[in-house]
């Protein structure tokens, strides 16, 4: 993975280290228990509010040099100064002096630039949210393309593999938690895969449309126009260095929907996983027992009842999906801003890294589940056989209708079969046995074809419809999409973005 840490002007120089914190003496379990360490390179507080804004500042000064506003040497001096500011010293200066995060970044950057003529180019004609909002979108873009989307595709592939492996394994269907017509295990997982795929495809579309802004405090580039001849051209060059497109219309802030569309689809994606977790957990209940998850040798399910083996990973997935739902609700609040901007969105966006950590750990937890989830074929078969006494009702009423059965003007095949089913339950007899013994239906059974009889008498094996073929068709299509998306994402190379040394040649 790309190393996002800044190169310093003096490679041997040691930066101040923050005070060591006991990881349990923090407020968020996302830090002490669930942290995805590789995500920190993109969306930690240090990245969101020091390093990513600093990258925007660096891109700005390098572009000023390309346009002849300052010299190459001045641009590099400013860029190196900006790149040496640490989150700790920036925070201390903000708390003790400026009470403003980006002004603290600007002040500390200028302190580190020996050529004071070069320092004028730091934050020149910019506003704080040129660098904060653009920095956030830069971090999100890189996080998606280098990390999150690849994890999404790994999970999708594991669900597709599972669906394909069990495409032909019969299972009783369930609607309203009651037995229904049979399906296959693979068919259900193909449904999860199709839904999840749809959301991550939309996530990638949203990420590909991430924008930034370099247009000043109300978005009209008036200040920048006093420095460069073509403000919009300058903005485009700056944002290209950050892997972003320019916002078509912005105020002091980027249109909030630009980020929210992405989060909306993440919310939908984790809800699919919540649905999967809930369904699977229910099917692991002892009285059903159709699935099991392999647990470790000394894993404990209860401190009081040693026999317990709880579906903790599935419960964790559902809980994490609810947590992400809370963040989704909170982020929805940034849609409304007073005129060109107010400040309430600032505090909300500081939780973006936490939200993305919840999303990523949910994806990775689900991958672990897929690796250990096993169908109990014996219980699947037993439950289906038990249910087959009643689930022949659908084919029976359809076939009777095909042959024109009508007991009376007000009694349709559906009503007649419904009454037979209730009689069977009352008499503790299988519906198919009641139907075969029914005098009014005997002439019809003699007319039924072998296929029609099979769907009624053996629905567990003869009434699976297109479960298997549809599953395999869906999996085949999704495999093509997975390959396309992986190739696309992996072909994106951001290694040279804002490598100050590589840009030294550009601004000759």
Judge if 484 and 439 occupy the same domain.
no
Contacts of 130 (CB under 8 A, 6+ apart): 56, 213, 214, 215, 216
Judge if 170 and 317 occupy the same domain.
yes
Judge if 353 and 255 occupy the same domain.
yes
123 φ/ψ sector (left φ>0, alpha ψ -120 to 50, else beta):
left
The residue among 454, 439, 470, 450 whose CA lies nearest residue 392 is 454
**Nearest-angstrom CA–CA distance, 389 and 85:** 73
The pLDDT assigned to 19 comes to 55
The tens digit of pLDDT for each residue in 143-195 reads 999 999 999 999 999 999 999 999 999 999 999 989 899 999 999 999 999 99
Within-domain flag for 102: no
Tokens describing residue 85: 């500011």
**Nearest-angstrom CA–CA distance, 361 and 501:** 35
Q: How many domains does the chain have?
A: 2
DSSP letter assigned to residue 408: B
Q: Are 188 and 251 a contacting pair, CB within 8 Å?
A: no
Contacts of 459 (CB under 8 A, 6+ apart): 181, 182, 388, 391, 392, 395
Judge if 134 and 213 occupy the same domain.
yes
**Nearest-angstrom CA–CA distance, 452 and 396:** 8
| Secondary structure element (H or E) that encloses residue 185, with its range | helix 185-208
Q: Kindly give the pairing relationship between strand 245-246 and strand 291-293.
A: unpaired
Within-domain flag for 24: no
The pLDDT assigned to 301 comes to 64
The pLDDT assigned to 508 comes to 47
Within-domain flag for 503: no
Domain boundaries, position 418 = 389-457
Judge if 221 and 158 occupy the same domain.
yes
Q: What's 180's domain CATH number?
A: 1.20.200.10
Judge if 432 and 480 occupy the same domain.
no
- DSSP string across 204-264: HHHHHT-EE--S-TTSS-TTGGGT-S-HHHHHHHHHHTTT-EEPSS-SSS--THHHHHHHH
**Nearest-angstrom CA–CA distance, 445 and 209:** 61
**Stated pTM of the model:** 0.89
**Nearest-angstrom CA–CA distance, 309 and 307:** 7
Phi and psi, residue 350, nearest 5°: -65, -15
Query: pLDDT under 70 in the chain at which residues?
Result: 1-24, 297-298, 300-304, 307-308, 340-343, 408-409, 496-508
Phi and psi, residue 310, nearest 5°: -85, 150
Contacts of 85 (CB under 8 A, 6+ apart): 50, 54, 105, 108, 109, 112
Judge if 214 and 308 occupy the same domain.
yes
């Amino acid at each position: 993975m790309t190393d996002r840490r800044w190169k310093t002007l003096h490679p041997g120089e040691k930066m101040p280290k923050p005070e060591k914190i006991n990881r349990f003496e923090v407020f968020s379990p996302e830090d002490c228990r669930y942290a995805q360490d590789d995500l920190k390179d993109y969306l930690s507080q240090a990245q969101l509010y020091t390093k990513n804004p600093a990258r925007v500042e660096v891109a700005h000064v390098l572009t000023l040099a390309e346009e002849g506003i300052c010299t190459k040497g001045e641009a590099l001096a400013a860029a190196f100064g900006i790149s040496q500011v640490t989150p700790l010293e920036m925070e201390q200066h903000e708390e003790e002096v400026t009470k403003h995060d980006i002004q603290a970044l600007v002040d500390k950057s200028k302190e580190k630039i020996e050529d004071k003529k070069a320092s004028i180019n730091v934050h020149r004609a910019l506003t704080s949210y040129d660098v904060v909002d653009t920095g956030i979108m830069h971090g999100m873009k890189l996080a998606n393309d280098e990390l999150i989307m690849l994890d999404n595709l790994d999970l999708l592939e594991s669900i597709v593999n599972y669906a394909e492996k069990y495409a032909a394994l019969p299972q009783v269907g369930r609607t309203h938690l009651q037995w229904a017509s049979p399906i296959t295990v693979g068919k259900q997982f193909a449904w999860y895969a199709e839904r999840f795929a749809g959301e991550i495809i939309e996530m990638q579309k949203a990420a590909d449309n991430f924008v930034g802004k370099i247009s000043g405090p109300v978005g009209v580039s008036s200040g920048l126009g006093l420095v460069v001849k073509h403000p919009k051209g300058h903005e485009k060059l700056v944002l290209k260095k950050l892997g972003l497109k320019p916002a078509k219309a912005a105020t002091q802030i980027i249109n909030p929907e630009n980020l929210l569309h992405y989060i909306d689809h993440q919310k939908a994606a984790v809800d699919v996983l919540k649905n999967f977790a809930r369904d699977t957990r229910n099917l692991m209940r002892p009285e059903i027992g159709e699935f099991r998850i392999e647990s470790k040798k000394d894993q404990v399910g209860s401190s009081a009842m040693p026999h317990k083996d709880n579906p903790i990973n599935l419960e964790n997935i559902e809980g994490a999906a609810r947590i992400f739902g809370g963040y989704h609700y909170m982020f929805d609040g940034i849609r409304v801003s007073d005129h060109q901007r107010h400040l309430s969105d600032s505090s909300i966006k500081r939780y973006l890294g936490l939200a993305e950590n919840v999303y990523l750990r949910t994806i990775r937890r689900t991958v672990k589940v897929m690796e250990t989830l096993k169908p109990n074929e014996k219980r699947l078969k037993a439950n289906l056989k038990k249910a087959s006494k009643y689930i022949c009702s659908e084919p029976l009423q359809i076939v009777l209708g095909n042959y024109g059965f009508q007991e009376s003007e007000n009694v349709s095949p559906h009503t007649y079969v419904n009454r037979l089913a209730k009689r069977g339950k009352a008499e503790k007899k299988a519906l198919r046995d009641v139907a075969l013994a029914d005098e009014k239906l005997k002439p019809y059974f003699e007319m039924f074809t072998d296929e029609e009889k099979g769907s009624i008498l053996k629905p567990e094996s003869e009434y699976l419809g297109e479960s298997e073929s549809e599953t395999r068709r869906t999996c085949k299509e999704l495999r093509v999409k997975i390959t396309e998306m992986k190739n696309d994402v992996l072909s994106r190379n951001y290694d040279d973005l804002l490598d100050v040394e590589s840009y030294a040649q550009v601004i000759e």
